[in-house]
Amino acid sequence: MSRERQTSHRVELPDHGLALSKPQSRRKILQKAGGVIAAGAFGAVPLRGWAADTINIGGLYPTTGSMAQIGVGCVAAAKMAAEMVNEAGGIKSLGGAKLNVIISDIQSDTTVTRTETDRLINGNKLSAIHGCYASALTLIASEVCERAKVPIITGSSSDQLNKGRKYTFTPFARASQFAQAQLQMSKLVSDKPKVAVIFENTAFGTSTSNGLKEQAPGEGVEIVMFEPYSAGFTDASPLINKVKASGANTLFAISYLNDLILIVRTVKQVGLDIAINGGSGGFTMPDFYKNVGTAAEGLQGVAHWNHDVNDDAQKVSERFKQVYGTFAFEYAGSIVAQTFMLADAMERAASADPQKVRDALSTLDASSGYAAMGPGSRVKFGPEGKNVYGRPVGVQWQNGDLVSIFPKEDARAPVLKT
């Protein structure tokens, strides 16, 4: 497969860095990341400017479309992570080679994700790729990466990513693990949980909700409602009225950001008194709290990464806040960890060759430093690329901050009773 640069599809922008003194607008962040992309007109945008030899890592994120707000934060985290590796001396076994992130806008679209992943691989000499935030998009990107034999590492949670894959690596909790954590957390609210499950009908929503249904009996939780909905809906009232009629005392909403904001607002508008666990996805975003305000206080969720899990995570979050204006949200923090996992693999392989990077990733065993700054503080991949030590962390909004509360060994604050 040819990897000659296809300049007809790219715009090369100067790299001014992202170490900013105050939060920047979405446009300025993309400009400084070299990531201002005309949807459909351009493909990958190289983030250039390193004087020394560079190792290219691809980043697939939606910087336009319905998930753009999250994608822009991911780009900021990806660039910051590369800067952190480079500031620490780069890949020393390769003479201090620097990491260079090449961002491609996948436009929150499955078809574009396929074409952009292929274009990113064919148009650049890549050692690895990370992305794509949404599981539905990552599943497609990983298929392309598998065929091209380029390793992809991701924070996406769908269990399908670990079926028959050799070049796909998932260092964090899987959707089925999220489901178990949510079920266990429901007992923090009620001795006899009666749960209504509503979920958006994409890979993320269906895989997590199916895990809830399968595991609920073993956890002693009764599911009294199990209802899919079309992602991106504009009226949550019919759905919430069904929840109200179900007799549930707890609501599990498996949704991305905009849907979850609408769901929570509707719950408050109809006066439904019910405990809410917002799962992962949109719940962990600072913009969730910004949009629903104090209505978020006391709401629980689950995450594959949180900014208070250890000291390294808190350092990353403080740096990210200088760039982006908020604490490092779940996916942003995990991008930094993933970048350090890739750097570790390259260091041990003493190579930027994607096959050798893949082989080194498969033998990764990190228990300290930024590569291991997730729940459980250890990363070791099994045969299908899943971290055998990966687990979720239960979180809760308290005084405008997202704090870890579950399980006991990961708790950084007591549960706020509501």
Q: Does residue 290 form part of some domain?
A: yes
Residues 138 and 182 in one domain: no
The mean-pLDDT minimum among 14-18, 49-53, 184-188, 408-412 falls in 14-18
Quote the distance between the C-alpha of residue 393 and its chain's center: 14
Asked if residue 266 is part of any domain, the answer here is: yes
> pLDDT per residue over 328-358, tens digit each?
999 999 999 999 999 999 999 999 999 999 9
Taking the mean position of all CA atoms in its chain, how far away is CA 115?
21
Across 96-100, 158-162, 202-206, the highest mean pLDDT is recorded for 96-100
Residue 18 has pLDDT above 50, yes or no: no
Domain containing residue 324: 7-173+309-380
What pLDDT is recorded for position 199? 93
120 and 190 belong to one structural domain = no
Instruction: Assess whether 185 and 253 both reside in one domain.
Output: yes
Close Cβ partners of 30 (under 8 Å, ≥ 6 residues apart) = 36, 37, 63, 72, 75
- Would you give the end-to-end CA distance of the chain in angstroms? 57
* pLDDT score for 418: 72
Domain assignment of residue 388, yes or no: no
Give the length of the chain: 418
Buried b (16+ CB within 10 A) or exposed e, 295-316: bbebbbbbbbbbbbbbebbbbb
Give DSSP secondary structure letters for 394-415.
Answer: EEEEETTEEEEEESGGG-SSPP
The answer to whether residues 233 and 99 belong to one domain is no
For residues 20 and 142, membership in a common domain is answered with yes
Q: Grade residue 23 by pLDDT with cuts at 50, 70 and 90.
A: low
Do 78 and 61 form a contact (C-beta atoms < 8 A)?
yes
Pairing of strands 401-406, 393-398: antiparallel
pLDDT at 22 over 60: no
Residues 246, 134 within the same domain: no
- Which CATH number do you get for residue 193? 3.40.50.2300
Q: pLDDT band at residue 25, thresholds of 50, 70 and 90?
A: low
332 Cβ neighbours under 8 A, 6+ residues apart: 73, 74, 76, 77, 320, 324
Is 73 inside a domain boundary? yes
DSSP string, 318-365: HHHHHHHSS---HHHHHHHHHHHHHHHHHHHHT---HHHHHHHHHT-E
Statement: residue 42 has pLDDT above 90: no
CB 228 within 8 A of CB 259: no
How much is the pLDDT for 232?
Answer: 87
User: What is the Cα–Cα distance from 132 to 145, expressed in whole angstroms?
Assistant: 12
C-beta neighbour count of 87 within 10 angstroms: 10
pTM of the predicted model, to two decimals?
Answer: 0.86
R_g of the chain computed on alpha carbons: 20
DSSP 8-state assignment for residue 107 = T
3-state SS class at 257: helix
Domain-embedded: residue 387: no
242 lies in the same domain as 323: no
Instruction: Let me know: does 153 contact 171? Beta carbons within 8 Å.
Output: yes
pLDDT tens readout for residues 3-13? 333 332 332 32
Give the list of residues 6+ apart from residue 407 with CB closer than 8 angstroms, or none: 181, 184, 393, 394
The model's pLDDT over 256-293, given as tens digits with 9 standing for 90+, comes to: 889 999 999 999 999 999 999 998 878 999 999 999 99
Whether residue 314 is found in the same domain as residue 274: no
Confidence of residue 26 (pLDDT cuts 50, 70, 90): low
Residues 69 and 218 in one domain: no
Question: Residue for token digits 């939060």?
Answer: 23
Task: Retrieve residue 172's tokens.
Answer: 């964090």
Mean pLDDT of all residues in 158-185: 94
Do the domain assignments include residue 78?
A: yes
User: Is 60 exceeded by the pLDDT of residue 20?
Assistant: no
Q: Is residue 243 part of a domain?
A: yes
Instruction: Verify that 158 and 282 share a domain, yes or no.
Output: no
Give the pLDDT confidence score for residue 30 in this predicted structure: 56
Query: Which DSSP symbol is given to 272?
Result: -
How many domains are there within the chain? 2
Tell me the average pLDDT of the chain. 88
Asked if the model's pLDDT at residue 38 lies above 50, the reply is no
Percent of the chain at pLDDT > 90 equals 78
273 in any annotated domain: yes
Single out the residue of 185, 183, 190, 186 nearest to residue 215, CA to CA. Answer: 183
- Residue 129 is predicted with a pLDDT of 98
* Nearest C-alpha neighbor of 366 from the set 344, 351, 396: 344
Same-domain pairing of 268 and 354? no
Residue 205 has pLDDT above 90, yes or no: no
Answer yes or no: are the C-beta atoms of 199 and 230 closer than 8 Å: no
Q: What is the pLDDT of residue 19?
A: 34
Same domain assignment for residues 168 and 181? no
Averaged pLDDT for residues 93-121: 97
Q: For residue range 104-114, what is the model confidence (pLDDT) as tens digits?
A: 999 999 999 99
